[in-house]
């Protein structure tokens, strides 16, 4: 037989007991959780801003530029 302390009914009863915080209506994640989420939001804002700055610096294509200057033509005879 299973002892009473380890039975499912006793465990369920222990989980359903209300604490003093829940009786007073003071249930919530708290100030620390809010500060963590706020800091993550600020960091995400600056990360996206930095990423957009770097993306604007990327050239439209990575092909080498075409040189149309005749003075640098290597096929000319000297």
The rounded distance, in Å, linking the Cα atoms of 17 and 39 is 34
The pLDDT of residue 74:
59
Q: Which residues contact 10 (CB under 8 A, 6 or more apart)?
A: 4
The rounded distance, in Å, linking the Cα atoms of 56 and 60 is 9
The pLDDT of residue 21:
53
Q: At residue 73, does pLDDT exceed 90?
A: no
> In this predicted model, which residue has the larger pLDDT, 3 or 47?
47
- Span of 1-15, 35-49, 52-66 with lowest mean pLDDT: 1-15
| Count of positions (residues) in the chain | 78
**Which pair of tokens denotes residue 58?**
């990327």
55-77 average pLDDT score: 75
Q: At residue 49, does pLDDT exceed 80?
A: yes
Residue reference for tokens 């359903």: 16
């Amino acid at each position: 037989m299973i002892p009473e302390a380890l039975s499912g009914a006793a465990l369920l009863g222990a989980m359903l007991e209300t604490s003093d915080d829940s009786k007073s209506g003071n249930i919530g994640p708290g100030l620390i959780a809010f500060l963590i989420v706020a800091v993550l939001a600020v960091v995400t804002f600056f990360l996206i801003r930095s990423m957009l700055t770097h993306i604007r610096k990327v050239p439209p294509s990575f092909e080498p530029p075409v040189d149309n200057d005749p003075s640098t033509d290597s096929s000319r005879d000297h």
